[in-house]
Every structure is written in structure tokens, then in C-alpha cells.
Structure 1
């Protein structure tokens, strides 16, 4: 099953806002529909956004304003702008050339996820590993398999996975809704963990590695990922647990020198004061809602990409 694909002249993607209750595919035929799907997180995850951006340029049919609007739909994720730029570079060659590049980006993402899974599993030592992860980094965040969850899937397929401790991931519960759904489908053992319990469980021992994805990696290795990742990095550093980032080379932004230059998106009050449409805070309550945080490179044990492993 693919999270996103080009089918019959349009984009088909899984509406992730409806999971785990319903598995619904959206058919996207305009840039405005795609921008809406991106902003409301019907499609999310840096690699998946790169593919969506590339296919969106096909839908734009040469409209530069629509392409610019698509490129800016989510500012923190490097892959969205990258995918748009890669496809837009072929505009002068015509729509067929743009579509061909977008399809190559899709296929390259699938191959990259396989490579990251293998390379990450090879990096970790031990036969029965308990790993911790946050947010969703599986097939739903890419096209197939995933980044950090792709490593976990490879460990499971090799018989080396003891358990996954998946953080619920407030405020949108992408761990509880999406990662748990994917782990159920692959038959991997797991338990959900409240975000605030993660560092404490690391301190108590019994976790062999923390695996996260990335939305943007700066040139020095500072990494933007789902809010809560920085707390895990601090806990892992104190506990002596490897903290490993898994992301394709396309997520590395050489033009951004360090994490302080990464724009972190604030998604407003609604996602914090409500849970899936049910208000949990008093009327009038305001919220700070940074969607991401930035983990400094000196807290990262290794970055695994589809091409290499390096230690920032």
C-alpha cells in the first residue's frame, strides 16, 4: 500500500486525519486541494511531502503562483520545497517531463526507505532490541516502509525486535493514531507511552536506542523533528542511549547552517485546546503550539540516510 501516488491523472493519497478509524483515499486534482490536504495534515511526513510537492507541480500546469503557494504550504519540512523545485526545474520541457521527474522522486523515495531500513538495522547491535520512537515515521510519512519506522520494520523482519515504545505524540497523537496503526499492521510488538514519560523510561534502563525521523537537517547536523524529540535526546544523552536520526539525503539542507536558522511552524490554538474535535480546555484558553523542535547535533549519536551513516 502506498501513502501517495499518481493514478489516472491525479494524486491519490491516504487521508491521515481519519486514521485509525477509517482508511480513506483522497483524489486530488488541483493545487488548492493539495495545499489544503498538506495544511490540515491529510498528507504529512517530510518524504511524503516531497513526493506530494513534485506531483503538485504537475497539477499546477505551469502556474508559477500556484507553485509558489504549494512550496510555502509547510515551512519547516525541507522535502516539500525540494520536491517542488525538482519538478519545477522541468517546466520548460513540458508537462510530461515534469510528471516523469515526479514519478522518479516517488520511486527514489521507495528505494531510499529500503536502504535506510537496512543501514539502520545494520548499525544497531543486539538480537532483541527495545527501541523508542516519536511521531510517525513509517509508510504514512513516506511512500512505502518509512524512515525510522522503516528501520524498526527491518529489525522486526530480521527477528531482532523485542518491543517498540511509541510515544503518543501530542497534540495530534500521530504516534497513538498512526504509528500504532502501522505497527499493528506489521505485527510488531509495541506499547504506547505518554510523551512526558519518555525521558523517565530512558533513565530507568531497558531501552536500546531512540529512533526518530527528521523534517529538516541543518548543515551542522542540528535536526528539526516533531515536538518532543529534543526532550528524548536530552533523556537519551543522560541515560547513555543512542539517539539516532533516520532521514533521506534530501532532508539535509546545506543552505541552512544550523538549527537556529530553521523556521519552526506554530499551528495555533485549536490542536492543543481540542482533541479530535472535543474541547478539553476552558473557553478562551490560548496555546503555544510549535509543531517541531530542534535537537542540537551534539546530542545526536548518528544520522542514517539512504547513502551513508555519519556522526555529527
Structure 2
């Protein structure tokens, strides 16, 4: 299976960004043209592009698009206005740390690049392209390290994943689904079970769609079937992605991930988190400090045009939950698989901003 057969949700082409509109999958494959920073911010906020690494790549291009709109030739004024661009993008999604990582890397590039404002703008485009390319390489490394970390038996594994942490959630290949891809390529995958992932159904819509594109055997289950499947001996390991990982290994991922981790622990099934080093936020001590985004209650009470709930009731719609580090067998990064207790000592020195 080659990368030529795979999905790339964020593409720089003909002086603009093309995004796969993930809100329209799987029924329609459509591309959205992004020419302005404001449009990129809206695309991130409305989840046209989603998944922490993909958001980071999109934000990097958003920084360049915003820089391109700045008309001054004065360096200091340019850098001040670029901070305003960063502020706009930071306000889109509070939980995904890759967003903030990519923005800071772009700001650092601008601050450290000498030359005219036009030269700075070209340096920012080059940096955004580098972040894009690096993420694809990172995901392939995560997939291969994840394959090595998975149980050695049985020979053919049945993996469960929650939400979508595939090519659509990254620059390509995926994190958790990257592990699935590498396992499939190594002929060690029997089947992947995809939680539907309420309320936005990213597992049913996106993970399943990606698997179909590449012929990976996939079975969609509702979120409340995970415990039954584990009890019936249908799952050998769980692999999920992450939107932010605290220094102690506590991991924020799509709502429902914590439940899956608890069930896996109860059935003695290893639970793996797959994420790039940029997803680890060494500035926060533990998961209690991770901000949790709350989204529109319409995601709960409405699917398409169908209203599911009676009027006059209240809703609570956190987009993420935090899985404690002691439920995680290993965190798989591009540098290898590490226990949560190893993160700070083994990986902190490799942190890149």
C-alpha cells in the first residue's frame, strides 16, 4: 500500500489551501478553497478540518495567509499584526495543543528571520509547508512504532479505535489509524472496530470511510457496544489519538475515550495512545489543567434534519474527556512507544518549538 492511495486533508496548491470538507463525508467528497486567514479560522472552528495534527497544519497555513494580507513593509509593525493573526487562530479550538504549537513555531520563524517583510512572508510559507511534510513523516513513524508496541499474539490482531485519528485528522497517514495502517501493511491486522463516536459520529463517518478507501476490514459499532465486544473476546488492543497530553501522560481525546479506557482496563486489554511529540504539553502538570471545549448542543439533539429530543430540556456537550495516565499502556510517538511515566525524562529534551 503506497502513500499515493491515501488521503491528504490539507493541501497547498496554486497559492491557496484546499481542505477536504469533513462535515460532508462520507456522503460527499468536496474540497473547500481557503484564501484568507479568516476563512481558515472559520474552517477550523466549524470542523471542516479537524483532528489535532491537521488543525496544526491548517493553522500554520492560516498564519501565512494572514501574513500575506498584512500590507505594511515595516518589520516591527508586521510582527505586531502577525500576533493579531495568531490571536484569531488561537481562539478557534481551545483543547488541541497542536494548534498552539504550530502557531508558536510560525511566530518564532517570523521573529528569527532577517530580511524584508516580503522575505518573511516567504519564510512563513516555507515553514508551513515543512510542518505539513513533517507531519506525514511523523505519522508513518508513529504507525511503525505502534506496530512494534502491539501485543505479539495473536498473529492477526483485532483493534478498537475511538473517533477518527487517521489521515483526515493529520497531514496524512494518521496517528491511531496510522498504527492500524502499519499493522495492515504488515499482515497482522484481522479487523479494526470503529466506535461510531457520538455526537458527531467521526468513527462511523470518517474512520470507516478511510478504511473503505484502502480495503482495510472495518466494523462500526455504537459506543455503548465496546464493553460487550471486549467481554466477548473480540478486541485484542485499543488504539486512540490525542488532542493534548499533559506532562504526566493524562490524555485528552474525543469524548468517550475515558470510558473505553476504563472498559479496556477491566478486561485486561492494552490501551494505547498514538500522537506526535507536538501533542504533549509539557507546560501543564496533569489532565486537570487541560481546557475542555464545549460545543453547540445541536450536535446532541439533531442529526441532519432529524430532531432527536423533546423541547424544553438542557444539554451538556463537552467535546473531549481526559483519560488518566494509569489507564494507558503506552504513548506512541514518532520517537517510539513510552509509558506515561517516561514522558518527561525521555521526551522533554526532544521537544521542538
Q: C-alpha distance in 1, partners of 2:31/2:219?
A: 28
* 2-structure distance, mates of 1:86, 1:196: 40
Deviation at 1:210, TM superposition (A): 0.3
Aligned to 1:91: 110
For residue 78 of structure 1, the aligned residue among 86, 97, 103 is: 97
Larger-gyration structure (1/2): 2
Q: Note the aligned Cα RMSD (angstroms).
A: 1.1
Select the residue among 49, 56, 60 that pairs with 1:54: 60
Paired position in structure 1 for 2:183: 155
Q: Of residues 35, 43, 48 in structure 1, which corresponds to 2:49? A: 43
Q: Write the distance in 1 (CA, Å) between the matches of 2:238 and 2:125.
A: 37
> Equivalent residue for 2:300?
272
* Inter-partner Cα distance in structure 2 for 1:284 and 1:96: 53
SS at match of 1:100: helix
For 1:27 and 1:87, locate their aligned partners in 2 and report how far apart those are by CA, in whole Å: 22
Distance in structure 1 (CA, Å) of the matches to 2:267 and 2:174: 27
Asked if residue 65 in structure 1 is aligned to residue 84 in structure 2, the reply is: yes
Question: How do 1:4-19 and structure 2 match up within 5 A?
Answer: 4-19=10-25
The one of 247, 253, 273 equivalent to 2:275 is 247
- TM-score with structure 2 setting the length: 0.86
1:89 positional shift: 1.5
CA shift, 1:199, in A, is 2.2
Large movers: runs of 4+ above 4 Å:
none
Greater Cα shift, 60-69 or 138-147: 60-69
Shift of residue 82 of structure 1?
A: 0.7
Task: Determine the structure 2 residue equivalent to 1:112.
Answer: 138
Give yes or no for the alignment of 1:226 onto 2:258.
Answer: no
Task: Write the mapping of 1:151-230 to structure 2, written as runs, cut at 5 A.
Answer: 151-230=179-258
Q: Deviations over 1:212-236 (max 9, x none)?
A: 0000000000000000100010001
Residue equivalent to 2:325: 297
Map of 2:157 onto structure 1: 129
Q: Offset at 1:71? A: 1.5
Equivalent-residue separation in structure 1 for 2:300 and 2:248 (angstroms): 32
Structure 1 residue 311 corresponds to structure 2 residue 339: yes
Residues 1:256 and 2:275 aligned together: no
Instruction: Find the partner of 2:126 among 95, 100, 111.
Output: 100
Unaligned runs of 5+ in 1: none
Count of matched residue positions in the alignment of Structure 1 and Structure 2: 312
| Alpha-carbon distance in structure 2 between the residues aligned to 1:277 and 1:157 | 40
> Is 1:28 the counterpart of 2:34 in the alignment?
yes
Quote the residue 2:344 is aligned against: none
The structural deviation recorded for 1:282 is: 1.6
Residue 285 (1) aligns with residue 300 (2) = no
Q: How big is the shift at 1:276? A: 2.4
Q: 1:22 to 1:121 in 2, by over 3 A?
A: same
